[in-house]
Amino acid sequence: MATQTAEDGGAIRIMSVLEMRDVTKKFGGLAAVSGLNLVVEPGELLGLIGPNGAGKTTVFNLITGVYKPSSGDVLFQGMRVNGLRPCRIASSGICRTFQNIRLFKQLNVLDNVRIAAHLHTKANLLDSILRNNRLMTNDRELTEFSLMILRSLKLEDVSDQRSSDLPYGLQRRLEIARAIATKPRLLLLDEPAAGMNPQEKVELMELVRSVRRDYQLTILLIEHDMRVVMGICERIYVLDYGELIAEGKPEAIRKDPRVLSAYLGE
């Protein structure tokens, strides 16, 4: 089932990057997400919005393997990924940022990115211990690669600073840089604009657009700030109480009565 779609008749058909089929996640009696169907097409920049407690971050946790769905399937590029460990899902090409920033605080900016870049390492632990040629070239490549990412996100000037010393906006940006370093197909951004001022939000929108273009990413983004979501997302899913209440283009979502009532009350 896993590879069937990819090898159909030799030609690779366009398949969705991510598909959630009737996914439900229950915590005790409470369904944080119920019967969610969601499709992310290649290259899309998709928004996932909803009031507080709607289950948005739970959706991310389901996709990245932090939680296992109570029922339903999560398919990444046609492959079932529910039940895989988070690190396996990350190495298969889904990477995320965190709502409450989770950098490796004591390490410097470059090392934060290099840790994510380790996924592309070809050297094993023995190479590390022996410090042989393979390790040296490999580590040099990874370092160059990490520096390139830092440059493209305008973080190269702070590359040797401790990540916890960075100002808030740069920490958010470093989270994105780190996620990109795993070379994901699908990037999940969990409230990237949280706590930013209007100027930083504009910069962030620009940044999201440019990394999507430069790294050919498909992006799924959770955001509270309507201006950000409406500004960059091409399609939006709206969650409320764990259920999908609307889906469509920003203009349509803006007018959707169910969305309005979810946000503003009846």
Partner 1 sequence: MRILMLRVIAILVTFIGLYMLSQFVTYQMDPYYFQVLIECGVYIILAVSLNLINGITGQFSIGHAGFFAVGAYVGAAWTMIWQPMVVERYSFLQMGTLHGDILNLLIALILGMTSAGMAGFVVGLPSLRLRGDYLAIATLGFAEVIYVLLLNINSVGGARGLNGIPTLISSGNLALFWVFLFVIISIVLSRNIMQSVRGLTWLSVREDEIAADAMGVDTTKVKVTAFVIGSALAGAAGVLYAHFLTGISPDIFSMNTSILITTMVVLGGSGSVTGSVIAAIVLIVLPEVLRFLKNDRMVIYSVLLIVMMLTRPQGIFGTKEIGFPKWRRKQPKTEGRSA
181-220: which residues touch partner 1 (CB under 8 A)?
A: 182
Whichever of 116 and 220 has its CB closer to partner 1, that residue is 116
Question: Does the footprint of partner 1 cover residue 90 (CB under 8 A)?
Answer: yes
Whichever of 24 and 161 has its CB closer to partner 1, that residue is 161
Piece in contact with partner 1 (CB under 8 A), picked from 76-84, 95-103, 195-203, 253-261 = 95-103
Whether residue 236 contacts residue 203, with contact meaning beta carbons closer than 8 Å, is answered with no
Question: Does the footprint of partner 1 cover residue 106 (CB under 8 A)?
Answer: yes
How many angstroms separate the Cα of 132 from the Cα of each of 7, 27, 114, 120?
39, 49, 19, 17
- Candidates 136, 151, 168, 234; binder of partner 1 (CB under 8 A) is 136
Whichever of 125 and 264 has its CB closer to partner 1, that residue is 125
Whichever of 96 and 201 has its CB closer to partner 1, that residue is 96
Piece in contact with partner 1 (CB under 8 A), picked from 84-92, 227-235, 242-250, 252-260 = 84-92
Q: How far is the CB of 47 from partner 1 (least distance, A)?
A: 21
Piece in contact with partner 1 (CB under 8 A), picked from 30-38, 73-81, 114-122, 193-201 = 114-122
Question: Does the footprint of partner 1 cover residue 70 (CB under 8 A)?
Answer: no
Contacts of 147 (CB under 8 A, 6+ apart): 110, 156, 159
Whichever of 172 and 201 has its CB closer to partner 1, that residue is 172
Question: Does the footprint of partner 1 cover residue 172 (CB under 8 A)?
Answer: no
Whichever of 186 and 253 has its CB closer to partner 1, that residue is 186
- Candidates 39, 119, 194, 202; binder of partner 1 (CB under 8 A) is 119
Q: How far is the CB of 139 from partner 1 (least distance, A)?
A: 5
Read out DSSP for the chain? -TTHHHHTTSSPPP--SEEEEEEEEEETTEEEEEEEEEEE-TT-EEEEE-STTSSHHHHHHHHTTSS--SEEEEEETTEE-TTS-HHHHHHHTEEE--SS----TTSBHHHHHHHHHGGG----HHHHHHT-HHHHHHHHHHHHHHHHHHHHTT-GGGTTSBGGGS-HHHHHHHHHHHHHHT--SEEEEESTTTT--HHHHHHHHHHHHHHHHHTT-EEEEE-S-HHHHHHH-SEEEEEETTEEEEEE-HHHHHH-HHHHHHHH--
Question: Does the footprint of partner 1 cover residue 111 (CB under 8 A)?
Answer: yes
Whether residue 253 contacts residue 246, with contact meaning beta carbons closer than 8 Å, is answered with yes
- Candidates 18, 33, 38, 110; binder of partner 1 (CB under 8 A) is 110
Whether residue 50 contacts residue 240, with contact meaning beta carbons closer than 8 Å, is answered with yes
Which parts of this chain interact with partner 1 (CB under 8 A)?
64, 66, 85-87, 90-91, 95-96, 98, 102-107, 110-111, 114-119, 121, 123-125, 127-131, 133, 135-136, 138-140, 142-144, 147, 159-160, 178-179, 182
